[in-house]
Amino acid sequence: MADMILAIDQGTTSSRAIVFDAKLKPVSVGQKEFRQFYPKSGWVEHDPEEIWSSVLATCKSALRKSKAKPSSVKAIGITNQRETVVIWNRRTGKPIHKAIVWQDRRTAAFCEALKAKGHEPLFGKKTGLLLDPYFSGTKIRWLLDNVKGAREKASRGELAFGTIDSFLIWRLTGGKVHATDATNASRTLLFNIHTGEWDEELLRILDIPRSLLPEVKDCAADFGTTTAELFGSAIPIRGVAGDQQAASIGQACFEPGMMKATYGTGCFALLNTGTNAVLSRNRLLTTIAYQLDGKRTYALEGAIFIAGAGVQWLRDGLKLVKTAGETGRLAEGADPTQHVYLVPAFVGLGAPYWNAEARGAIFGLTRATTAKELAKATLESVCYQTRDLLEAMRKDMGQAQKTTLRVDGGMSASDWTMQYLSDILDAPVDRPPILETTALGVAYLAGLKIDLFPEPSRFAKSWKKQKRFTPKMKPAERDARYAGWKDAVRKLLA
């Protein structure tokens, strides 16, 4: 058979594997959901062993459906939920605790204590991040302090830390490779994005041993080879990137000023700033967009914690819908005279507010409010939050001109939501044919490393849009609706 690439997309609620052909067309898909654990209010955990088994199952499923021989799979790319923390025993490979998920807020008090000591400017300058429970560093510290014997074992070099990509690489290579890529490293609060190295001063402040940390590589690099017994043949791992950076690559956002937003469990917007690491003045993040041949490209990022997770709440929590696809039809039939706003701060508010203690609220309920209005408010909340991010990015970049937004992820399949997004942003929204651009991005990186795919500039020319949404809402209505959102947020924070 022709050359194939296997992309592993390990997400927050499910793992999927996609086999791509030599023209980067999806051939087959495997997907499996796994459990979410909520041991306390604001705490979110995953079982690393369940993640590992789901990844193996989906890879084998996708390979079986593709009818590809193991020898025809030339490389593996891995993309992953970022910031989620696993610490495991180097000798046994067993995790010492459940994975602490990026959504988890248990270290909020510790972050506030660090801010009170005046550390946030230093972390911001070196990492581009804010002191928030979202990031990996304070989660690592919590595990070392709260798992019996962990700190002592870490000090003896017996433990290894990784974001999910590192944990999967370790398992796939039979414990031979402990590595990550620059994009995942840049989300830990421990990595200096300007020097490209783990930062000793930040490690001292957080009291984290250097011996825990993986080697940091380019996004397209040699991450070892899988053990032959896993898939019937040893397969090289040659591409790794955090999910949002992988999506930006899959969307071919290689030029400064290009912007994408991915609508999955949360929503994450990245604006390419080229070789310039722009330090945000508006509570956004500065992050590494990708690193190739040792050269770093940077981005401004805005993180929304609840996007698709809001639809899951309607489905699984309130039981208002049976499938996510129903929400668009409900929203379309909602009463236009009602002005219901959902501020989905289920796990705090992300950019540009960064309030870990905030919790969700609904404003504007009446006796006439039904499932239709609640579905509409949930979808609209994602659009309003995206505008919050775009407004902040424009201020940081000093750009008043309109931006075309490239979108992907499950929620971008909703025509109703994407049209409302275009209306509220007053900007064109482009949707590509392949919505799973995270997997596409790492498939491209893996193929780039083995010379199967062309350099970024040529790859960018192959990008196509499936549909463009353009603004139709009148300016007065747009301004009034967004003002209502801002007022709801102010009430919530008050």
Quick: pLDDT tens for 171-206: 999 999 999 999 999 999 999 999 999 999 999 999
Cβ contact 427:403 at 8 Å: yes
3-state SS string for 133-177: CCCHHHHHHHHHHHCCCHHHHHHCCCEEEECHHHHHHHHHCCCCC
Q: Residue 400: what pLDDT?
A: 58
- Residue 422, in any domain of the structure: yes
For 156-312, list the strands marked E by DSSP: 159-162, 179-181, 191-192, 197-198, 215-217, 237-242, 259-263, 267-274, 285-292, 295-304
- Residue 459, in any domain of the structure: no
- Let me know how many helices (H) and strands (E) the chain has, helices first: 17, 22
Same domain, 237 and 318: no
Same domain, 159 and 266: no
Rounded-to-integer distance, Cα 417 and Cα 412, Å:
7
Burial tier of 420 (Cβ tally within 10 Å: 0-12, 13-18, 19+): buried
- Residue 344, in any domain of the structure: yes
Same domain, 384 and 468: yes
Q: Final residue of a domain: which of 219, 243, 267? A: 243
Same domain, 179 and 268: no
Same domain, 196 and 50: yes
Rounded-to-integer distance, Cα 409 and Cα 382, Å:
13
Same domain, 208 and 153: yes
**What average pLDDT does the chain have?**
93
Tokens, residue 430: 């482009």
Q: What is the pLDDT of residues 43-98, one digit of tens each?
A: 999 999 999 999 999 999 999 999 888 889 999 999 999 999 999 999 999 999 99
Same domain, 180 and 308: no
Same domain, 205 and 283: no
Cβ contact 54:15 at 8 Å: yes
- Residue 457, in any domain of the structure: no
Same domain, 427 and 283: yes
- Residue 455, in any domain of the structure: no
Tokens, residue 316: 């699984």
Rounded-to-integer distance, Cα 263 and Cα 328, Å:
15
CA distances from 462 to 7, 23, 25, 257 (A): 19, 10, 12, 19
Rounded-to-integer distance, Cα 238 and Cα 252, Å:
19
Report which of 80, 75, 78, 77 is spatially closest to residue 234, judged by C-alpha positions. Answer: 75
Q: Residue 399: what pLDDT?
A: 67
Burial tier of 478 (Cβ tally within 10 Å: 0-12, 13-18, 19+): middle
Domain interval for residue 197: 4-243
- Residue 445, in any domain of the structure: no
Same domain, 128 and 271: no
Which ranges of the chain have pLDDT less than 70?
1, 399-402
Q: Residue 143: what pLDDT?
A: 97
The DSSP letter of residue 45 is E
Rounded-to-integer distance, Cα 49 and Cα 44, Å:
16
- Residue 436, in any domain of the structure: no
Domain count within the chain: 2
Rounded-to-integer distance, Cα 84 and Cα 46, Å:
9
Same domain, 214 and 344: no
Same domain, 236 and 258: no
Q: Residue 354: what pLDDT?
A: 82
- Helix or strand run (H / E) with residue 375: helix 371-397
- Residue 448, in any domain of the structure: no
CATH of the domain at 487: 3.30.420.40
For 243-282, list the strands marked E by DSSP: 259-263, 267-274
CA dihedral 75, 80, 85, 88 (to 10 degrees): -20
Q: Residue 401: what pLDDT?
A: 54
Q: Residue 50: what pLDDT?
A: 97
Q: What are the backbone angles phi and psi of residue 446, rounded to the nearest 5°?
A: -65, -40
Q: Final residue of a domain: which of 180, 210, 243? A: 243
CA distances from 436 to 24, 26, 220, 247, 487 (A): 12, 10, 19, 8, 34
**Degrees to nearest 5, angle at CA 46 with 42 and 50:** 165
Cβ contact 421:434 at 8 Å: no
Q: What is the pLDDT of residues 476-493, one digit of tens each?
A: 999 999 999 999 999 999
Q: Final residue of a domain: which of 216, 243, 270? A: 243
Q: Residue 441: what pLDDT?
A: 95
- What is the DSSP track for 393-433? HHHHHT--S--PEEEESGGGG-HHHHHHHHHHHTS-EEE-S
Is residue 352 reached through a cis peptide bond, with omega within 30 degrees of 0 on the bond before it?
yes
